[in-house]
Structure 1
Amino acid sequence: MEYLKRKILKDGEIKKGGILKVDSFLNHQLDIECLNEIGKEFQKLFSNMDVTKILTIEASGIAVAAISAQYFKVPVVFAKKTESRNLSEVIYVSKVYSYTKDKTYNIKVSAEYLDKKDKILIIDDFLANGSAALGLLDLAEQAGAEVVGIGIVIEKSFQDGGKKLRERNINLHSLVKVEFNDKDEIIFR
């Protein structure tokens, strides 16, 4: 997706440890025009999948999923990382390790929002080691739902998340795949 590549080159910033900072448009401050382009692209990629719900994880995935959902005309369900008294008594739970925060979370979704009739499209902002995507897959599997695909905005192709998902024959589409050279410059794959 050339639009997104240009946006990353213009506004992205590389931090130590292989962290691509896109806070100015994707996951802190939101560029709605950019998010609309991302949503349209996901709709093109997954238009033939009869998606009934989009599943993501708080917090950064919510904006991408919500904007994308308007093109699919389906609801968004997001897995919560924090404890909440208003979750229903029956919940699905999975463990997710956050590379950027160096922390493991129990992610949760109320059982009333996912079930075996659902055709789930998982959408997230980044794919690195695959922990978030695998955790979301686990939640969908607990519900008996069918995961019809995973849409990722930016995949770090130098980490093994994409490989793990592709080995499971997941219908995975990453809008851009990035690596960094020894001068900390972005290389698109």
Structure 2
Amino acid sequence: MDILKQYITEKGRITDGNILRVEYFINHQMDIELFNEFGREFKKRFADVKVDKILTIESSGIGIAAIVSQYFDYVPVVFARKTESAIISDDTYNYEVYSYTKKITNMVRVDKALLKEGENVLLIDDFLANGRAAFGLAKIVEQAGGNVVGIGIAIEKGFQPGRKYLEDEGVRVESLAII
């Protein structure tokens, strides 16, 4: 996706540890016009599948997922929480996910009332590196008896094994930019 590549080139920056910083347009300050381009593109790429729900992980994927939902007839967006919360029940689907950027393992969770058996779920996230977050979300959908119809990623780190890891597990991956 040329516009995203342009944003990365002009506004992104690399810090120590191969971290691409995109806080000016994706994960701190959100460029809604750009997110709408994401929505249009993901709709084209996933036009062949029925989407009942979108699942992401807090926090940077939430804004993208909310905008993308508009292009899939406003399906509900659910996000997996990384921390325990008083507003989520104890009855949850859980999976441990390692965070590449924070170098910690989180138990991510989704309230069981929010994912149903047989639902077709599109996973959306800002980055794909090692694939652990996306894999964890896919496992949560599997626990619920749902179907992962694909994973939409804004920026894929092509030099890391995430895509291969997910595709080896049978998951369809669509990335808007590969760096």
TM-score in terms of structure 2 length: 0.97
| Aligned counterpart, 2:33 | 33
Tell me the distance in 2 between the aligned counterparts of 1:2 and 1:86: 40
Letter in 2 for 1:134: F
Tell me the distance in 1 between the aligned counterparts of 2:169 and 2:104: 25
SS at match of 1:138: helix
Letter in 1 for 2:69: A
Matched, 1:60 2:60: yes
Number of equivalences: 178
| Aligned counterpart, 1:8 | 8
Percentage identity across paired residues of the two chains: 53
SS at match of 2:26: helix
Tell me the distance in 2 between the aligned counterparts of 1:172 and 1:110: 25
Letter in 2 for 1:5: K
- Return the offset for 1:7: 0.9
| Structure 2 spans left out of the alignment, 5+ residues | none
| Aligned counterpart, 2:137 | 136
Shift >3 Å, 4+ stretches? none
SS at match of 1:26: coil
SS at match of 2:25: helix
SS at match of 1:149: strand
SS at match of 2:54: strand
| Aligned counterpart, 2:152 | 151
27-36 or 87-96: bigger deviation: 87-96
Tell me the distance in 1 between the aligned counterparts of 2:78 and 2:47: 19
Matches within 5 A, 1:12-161: 12-73=12-73, 74-161=75-162
Tell me the distance in 2 between the aligned counterparts of 1:94 and 1:169: 18
Letter in 2 for 1:94: Y
Give deviations 1:96-138, integer Å, cap 9, x for gaps.
Answer: 1111111111100000110112100000000001110011011
- Return the offset for 1:169: 2.4
- Return the offset for 1:88: 2.1
Letter in 2 for 1:149: G
Tell me the distance in 1 between the aligned counterparts of 2:90 and 2:104: 25
Tell me the distance in 1 between the aligned counterparts of 2:124 and 2:53: 10
Tell me the distance in 2 between the aligned counterparts of 1:170 and 1:116: 18
| Structure 1 spans left out of the alignment, 5+ residues | 179-189
- Return the offset for 1:89: 3.1
TM-score in terms of structure 1 length: 0.92
Letter in 1 for 2:23: D
Tell me the distance in 1 between the aligned counterparts of 2:126 and 2:115: 21
Tell me the distance in 2 between the aligned counterparts of 1:60 and 1:120: 18
